[in-house]
């Protein structure tokens, strides 16, 4: 249904239409089955929208062909994405293939990790191939197009920022994927050194064991101690017992 030919200023109704997540002056016509069931929409396949001001159905463009309003102050013709709240700093990343928020000048695309990261991480993070195109190891939500903030651990694996905080709150300081230390543990290792030195093991328990370091992946033979086993190479206590290496 179209309007009666009345034209409005482009900013008419700005921030007055839309949903909790996106303020926009149009509704998307889902290019799928036409049923009521809720499911994901392939955003790039959207071809038609309905103006929320005059109810005119039309091709996906920024300005309504009938009443002249901007259906979205931000509009991406590739993603068919509309949003009136431009304070989010929306931008389209050609490498990601989707629109992101935060300001294009504040982010760069890491081709190895497969996603946009803050410029603070430029040359300052460990790359893991397609690390963002995985599920969060805590809540299992797909990270690449998640609306939640993410955190890159020292090892390069990615996790939701809130999930990472929850991990630390439960005294878990290693990556849930590779078991490497997720934060700087040097002060903790220093305190463990003092505790080991102050705890004398009975002679009967002073046998040697082989350990694998989760942080540097090296194996070493150390004296057993109830407090923990320190890696002979990097000094980490993030270790586990392992079998004696076989001779080449």
- Per-residue pLDDT tens digits for 135-157: 999 999 999 989 888 999 999 99
Q: Which two tokens stand for residue 27?
A: 């509704």
User: Measuring CA to CA, how many Å separate 207 from each of 25, 210, 220, 226?
Assistant: 73, 10, 14, 12
What pLDDT, on a 0 to 100 scale, did the predictor assign at position 1? 46
Q: Is 80 left (phi over 0), alpha (psi -120 to 50) or beta?
A: left
Instruction: Classify 186-241 by CATH class.
Output: mainly beta
219-223 sheet: strands from edge to edge? 219-223, 208-213, 239-241
Q: Quick one: how far is CA 105 from the chain centroid?
A: 19
What pLDDT, on a 0 to 100 scale, did the predictor assign at position 30? 85
Let me know: does 2 contact 20? Beta carbons within 8 Å.
no
What pLDDT, on a 0 to 100 scale, did the predictor assign at position 178? 96
* Dist CA 5 CA 95 (whole Å): 41
What pLDDT, on a 0 to 100 scale, did the predictor assign at position 248? 63
Let me know: does 176 contact 159? Beta carbons within 8 Å.
yes
- Residues of the chain scoring pLDDT < 70: 1-5, 33-38, 247-248
Question: Helix (H) and strand (E) counts for the chain?
Answer: 2, 14
Smallest CA-to-CA distance from 114 within 87, 143, 89, 140 is with 143
Domain segments of the chain as ranges: 26-88, 94-169, 186-241
Let me know: does 238 contact 214? Beta carbons within 8 Å.
yes
Report the predicted TM-score, pTM, of the whole model to 2 decimal places. 0.79
Smallest CA-to-CA distance from 118 within 96, 102, 141 is with 102
């Amino acid at each position: 249904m179209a309007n009666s030919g009345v034209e409005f200023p482009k900013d008419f109704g700005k921030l007055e239409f839309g949903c909790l997540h996106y303020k926009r002056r149009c509704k998307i016509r889902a290019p799928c089955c036409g049923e009521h069931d809720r499911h994901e929409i392939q955003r790039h396949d959207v071809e038609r929208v309905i103006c929320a001001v005059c109810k005119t159905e039309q091709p996906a463009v920024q300005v309504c062909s009938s009443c002249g309003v901007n259906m979205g102050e931000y509009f991406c013709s590739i993603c068919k994405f509309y949003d009136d709240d431009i304070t989010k700093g929306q931008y389209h990343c050609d490498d990601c293939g989707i629109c992101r928020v935060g300001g294009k000048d504040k982010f760069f695309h890491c081709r190895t990790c497969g996603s946009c990261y803050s410029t603070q991480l430029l040359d300052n993070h460990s790359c893991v191939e397609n690390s963002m195109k995985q599920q969060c190891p805590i809540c299992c939500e797909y990270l690449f197009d998640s609306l939640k903030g993410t955190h890159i651990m020292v090892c390069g694996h990615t996790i939701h920022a809130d999930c990472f905080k929850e991990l630390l709150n439960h005294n878990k300081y290693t990556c849930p994927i590779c078991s490497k230390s997720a934060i700087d543990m040097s002060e903790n290792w220093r305190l463990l050194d003092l505790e080991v030195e102050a705890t004398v093991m009975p002679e009967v328990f002073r046998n040697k064991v082989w350990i694998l370091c989760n942080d540097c992946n090296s194996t070493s033979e150390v004296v057993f101690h109830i407090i923990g086993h320190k890696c002979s190479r990097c000094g980490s206590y993030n270790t586990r017992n392992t079998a004696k290496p076989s001779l080449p």
